[in-house]
Chains A and B, each alone.
Chain A
Amino acid sequence: MPQGSAPSTRSRPTVLIALAAGFLALRLGLLAYDARHPPRDGGLVNWRSAEGAEAAATAEHKPLLYDFSADWCGPCRQMEREVFADARVAAIINAGYIAVRITDQDSTLAGTSVRDRFDLDSLPTLLVVHPGTKSPWRLQGYHGKRRTISFLERASRALQAGDDQ
């Protein structure tokens, strides 16, 4: 350093670069691992398509549970593994709801019409809707097993009492 000149303030952020590169590499590795190890398809819930689901809900006097998901969506896969593959939760859903899964690949008229009607903009999204009520119960994103179960129970209780959200 020449005499009298100020020391440089621009040192290379080596630690930050290493951290950023390391986390990025780990992220890509985990994404690749996740893609190679998909959850068991469908879990234990009796999912059906959107076609005729509303008529079935009306006939059976049950609310509809819409699950909007996608293969590439990490939180959707986590919800599949932790919630829908749990026998107790699956029993609650199968007994109390008409469960409908709509993926981003679903291009059927019924599927796209449901997506448009509920203004879907985030995955995963769970919607509980009774054919007779105006507004659905909505849970956007995956917030863990306990909160998802709590949402399903609250929505079910409220719909039985005739409340909209």
Chain B
Amino acid sequence: MIGSVVWALMCATWRERLSRPLVIGIYVVLCASQVMMAVAGRELSTPVLAITLIFGAGIVGRDVSSGTLALVFTRPVQRSTYVIAKWLAAGTAASGLSMTTVVVQAVVLASRGAGVPGAEIVDMLAESLTLAFGLSSLVVLFSVLVPGIGDVGLWLLLISLGQFAGSRVPLRVAEEWRALLLPSLTWSATLGSSPVAWLPLVSYASTVAGCLCLATLAANRKELSYASG
């Protein structure tokens, strides 16, 4: 039952987010420019950050502002289910697009005689996957807290604050701040290392679970009307 509700909400989110030609055009330009940059620099890169932010912008906040969320909750849908579905929708879409771009880059580079080692491809794919789901959890949390597309604005503000304060605060604070706002993992430095590095894995899981938990608690406290924004 919960699975089918999650799936229905995910499909609705994908349809809403990926049906506009302008947005599709932006994704195509973004991915194509990453492939061209990879060919020029002979190095893999992932567009996951930009794609997650574009896909996640207002993922909950716009539903609140438009009054859609009040309609959704007239059905027996738990708010925790809604939050998880939004996170999964953003994470799968952003990771799918970014990982496809990385694979295309690897194929193009290999066809031009500049093949990238398999370990680097696996690392880039793992980073795309984990950053997509990690950043999505943060964007969903911010999206519950602020209306419209203020979630991305809040994230940009916080990351800029870190950059601005970077030279004025201890390096440790700046590092923790960055890790919190950009939760990601690389394969070779975690599961691929011997012995397995559990600290980064657990830290990542803790950040994602914490964000989703706070997002659900905040959603539970939210009062909705048909024009909440």
Chain A positions near chain B (C-beta within 8 angstroms) = 6-7, 9-13, 16-17, 19-20, 23-24, 26-27, 30-31, 34, 70, 72-75, 78, 82, 104, 121-123, 141-147, 150
Given contacts A73-B175, A144-B186, A147-B188, contact A13 B199 (CB under 8 A): no
Q: How far is the CA of A131 from the CA of B58 in the complex (A)?
A: 49
10 interchain pairs, CB-CB under 8 A: A7-B76, A9-B78, A11-B78, A11-B80, A13-B220, A16-B80, A16-B212, A23-B202, A73-B172, A75-B189
Q: How far is the CA of A23 from the CA of B209 in the complex (A)?
A: 8
Enumerate chain A residues within 8 angstroms of B120, measured Cβ to Cβ: 147, 150
Decide if B181 is an interface residue (CB 8 Å cutoff).
no
Q: Which of B6-14, B128-136, B190-198 lies on the face that meets chain A?
A: B190-198
What is the count of residue pairs linking A and B with beta-carbon distances less than 8 angstroms? 100
Q: How far is the CA of A24 from the CA of B217 in the complex (A)?
A: 17
Q: How far is the CA of A160 from the CA of B12 in the complex (A)?
A: 56
Determine chain B's interface SS by DSSP, over half rule.
helix
B79 x A10 contact (CB < 8 A): yes
Chain B positions near chain A (C-beta within 8 angstroms) = 73-74, 76-80, 117, 119-120, 123, 166, 170-172, 174-175, 178, 186-189, 192-194, 197-200, 202-203, 205-206, 209-210, 212-213, 216-217, 220
Q: How far is the CA of A107 from the CA of B223 in the complex (A)?
A: 53
Least distance between A70 CB and chain B CB atoms (Å): 7
Enumerate chain A residues within 8 angstroms of B216, measured Cβ to Cβ: 13, 16
CB-contact partner of B171 in A23, A26, A123, under 8 A:
A123
Q: How far is the CA of A24 from the CA of B200 in the complex (A)?
A: 12
| Closest A residue, CB atoms, query B208 | A23
7 closest A-B pairs by beta carbon, nearest first, are A144-B188, A23-B206, A20-B213, A20-B209, A13-B216, A16-B213, A13-B80
A27 x B78 contact (CB < 8 A): no
Q: How far is the CA of A16 from the CA of B216 in the complex (A)?
A: 9
B209 x A123 contact (CB < 8 A): no
Enumerate chain A residues within 8 angstroms of B189, measured Cβ to Cβ: 75, 78, 142-144
Q: How far is the CA of A20 from the CA of B78 in the complex (A)?
A: 19
B206 x A27 contact (CB < 8 A): yes
Q: How far is the CA of A7 from the CA of B76 in the complex (A)?
A: 6
CB-contact partner of A147 in B119, B171, B174, B213, under 8 A:
B119
Enumerate chain B residues within 8 angstroms of A121, measured Cβ to Cβ: 166, 174
Given contacts A78-B193, A122-B175, A143-B189, contact A19 B209 (CB under 8 A): yes
Enumerate chain B residues within 8 angstroms of A20, measured Cβ to Cβ: 206, 209-210, 212-213
A74 x B213 contact (CB < 8 A): no
Given contacts A9-B79, A10-B220, A11-B80, contact A144 B175 (CB under 8 A): no
CB-contact partner of B199 in A19, A27, A143, A150, under 8 A:
A27
Q: How far is the CA of A34 from the CA of B194 in the complex (A)?
A: 16
Q: How far is the CA of A13 from the CA of B82 in the complex (A)?
A: 12
A144 x B193 contact (CB < 8 A): yes
Q: How far is the CA of A34 from the CA of B200 in the complex (A)?
A: 12
Least distance between B7 CB and chain A CB atoms (Å): 18
Q: How far is the CA of A106 from the CA of B74 in the complex (A)?
A: 60
CB-contact partner of B202 in A12, A26, A143, under 8 A:
A26
